[in-house]
Amino acid sequence: MVSGTEKRYKTFAGYFKARYGERLQKLVIDAGFCCPNRDGTIGTGGCAYCDNSAFHPGYSTPDKSLSMQIEEGIAFHRVRYRNAKHYLAYFQPFSNTYAPLPVLRSRYEEALRHPSIVGIAIGTRPDCIDGEKLDYLQALAEGLVLKDWERPGFKKPVVIIEYGIESCYDKTLERINRCHDFETARRAVEMTSGRGIDVGAHFILGLPGETRDMMIEECAVINSLPLTSVKFHQLQFIKGTRMEMEYKKYPERFVRMELDEYVDFIVDMIERLRPGLYIERVAGEVPPRFVSHPQWGSIRNFSILHMLDDKMTARDTFQGRLCSKQ
């Protein structure tokens, strides 16, 4: 039963409010890291869909100090989120655990020294983590590293790791040049959750060769992972990427949905996700200048979320309604 004012799915903003008493706003930080499938360690060229410059705001560039990026990020977000009091430094571009531990410690702890920062969110690949790094991050989250660190309402830093998993299918992962398999992702999530660290995962909907049924079936796999939160993005074709070139030649390989159809599909997925999983995002937003073959014009994510609420109300459904029926 869902009341008239209650969300029909678990929002990640709601998770923060329940656990910390307030919304925590992420500030994207570019700490100058790279990826192992770009520098030749395991591959070259990066993922077939990726151009990192399309996925983070203009204030976040590696030529600026972390403090400057944080200050500019706060000014940027104050326009929209005027009531935000505390922020997470979101290490997003590229793979933010792909460096020796001393380098990682330096970057993370520098961000945490900023007085408005109460924690860090680390975006990375599941093949760029290991026990030593996770042991450090566990100690950081437990307040054992920065022992004199404290913020109003926060005695220990918030630590979140977000893994780009993208697909549960090894054939897809190989096709998009991820250079790791799904078992690597499962192992990373389990190692992270086992240390008491909040862990999120990112998935792309509409990758080549995947049908709607295949994407729906991923819900059962996602439910089996010890995740705190999940993000879904529709596949967007970024100019100059190999994915854009493939779509131009072979559009029949891709499932493409109109906006209303996509929102309906997201409802289908939410119905199959376990009730305790927090949903951080249901669609991606890329500046129009980067996008080839745009689907939905200039609609913003908040409008898509309003459509999602309306659609779930119209269908009188809720997260997890069909979870036990998989």
Domain ranges of the chain: 12-321
Spacing of C-alpha 303 from chain mean position: 19
DSSP state of 11: B
Task: Report in angstroms the alpha-carbon separations of 81 from 25, 62, 87.
Answer: 8, 24, 11
86-91 vs 117-124, strand pairing mode: parallel
Backbone angles phi, psi at 158, to 5 degrees: -75, 135
The pLDDT assigned to 4 comes to 47
Say which CATH architecture domain 12-321 belongs to: Alpha-Beta Barrel (3.20)
Q: Say how far apart CA 3 and CA 134 lie, in whole Å.
A: 40
Task: Report in angstroms the alpha-carbon separations of 45 from 175, 177, 274.
Answer: 13, 8, 36
- Residue 163 in tokens: 């893994």
Backbone angles phi, psi at 198, to 5 degrees: -60, 135
> To which H or E segment does residue 67 belong?
helix 66-78
Backbone angles phi, psi at 105, to 5 degrees: -55, -45
Tens digit of each residue's pLDDT, the chain (326 residues): 455 457 999 999 889 988 898 889 999 999 999 999 988 898 888 888 887 665 667 777 888 999 999 999 998 888 776 677 899 999 998 999 999 999 999 999 999 999 999 999 999 999 999 999 999 999 999 999 999 999 999 999 999 999 999 999 999 999 999 999 999 999 999 999 999 999 999 999 999 999 999 999 999 999 999 999 999 999 998 899 999 999 999 999 999 999 999 999 999 999 999 999 999 999 998 887 888 877 887 788 899 999 999 999 999 999 999 986 54
